[in-house]
C-alpha cells in the first residue's frame, strides 16, 4: 500500500482518527474523508487524535467536509 496516492471515504460514519492511522502511506497525496456524521446527530463530531496525520509528507489535499469538525 506504499504506492497508494489517494483515499476517498464517504458515508463511512467514522468518529475518530487515532494517532498514526495513516502510518506507512508516505506517498498519499489526497485524502477525502466525508463521514457525513452531521446526518446522524448534531453531537457527532470527528475526533482527530494527536498525530493522526503524521508521516503524510506528500499530502496536498485534505478534505474533511461534512464531518462536524
In a domain, 56, yes or no: yes
Sign of the torsion formed by the C-alpha atoms of 67, 37, 9 and 23: positive
**Nearest-angstrom CA–CA distance, 38 and 69:** 10
Residue stretches of the chain with pLDDT short of 70 = 1, 37-43
pLDDT of residue 38: 65
pTM of the predicted model, to two decimals? 0.82
Give a yes or no: residue 40 inside a domain: yes
| pLDDT for residue 17 | 92
> Is 1 a domain residue?
no
Tens digits of per-residue pLDDT, 7-17? Answer: 999 888 788 89
Structural domain tally of the chain? 1
Q: What local confidence, expressed as pLDDT, does residue 63 receive?
A: 94
Does some domain include residue 29?
A: yes
Distance CA 26, CA 15 (A): 23
SS3 content of the chain, % helix, strand, coil (to 5): 5, 25, 70
Closest CA to 32 of 2, 57, 3, 66: 66
Query: Is 68 within the bounds of a domain?
Result: no
Which residue segment(s) compose the domain that 34 sits in?
6-63
Amino acid at each position: 500500500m506504499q504506492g497508494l496516492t489517494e483515499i476517498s471515504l464517504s458515508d463511512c460514519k467514522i468518529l475518530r482518527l487515532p494517532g498514526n492511522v495513516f502510518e506507512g502511506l508516505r506517498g498519499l497525496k489526497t485524502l477525502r474523508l466525508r463521514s457525513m456524521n452531521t446526518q446522524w446527530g448534531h453531537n457527532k463530531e470527528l475526533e482527530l487524535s494527536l498525530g493522526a496525520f503524521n508521516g503524510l509528507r506528500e499530502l496536498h489535499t485534505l478534505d474533511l467536509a461534512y464531518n462536524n469538525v
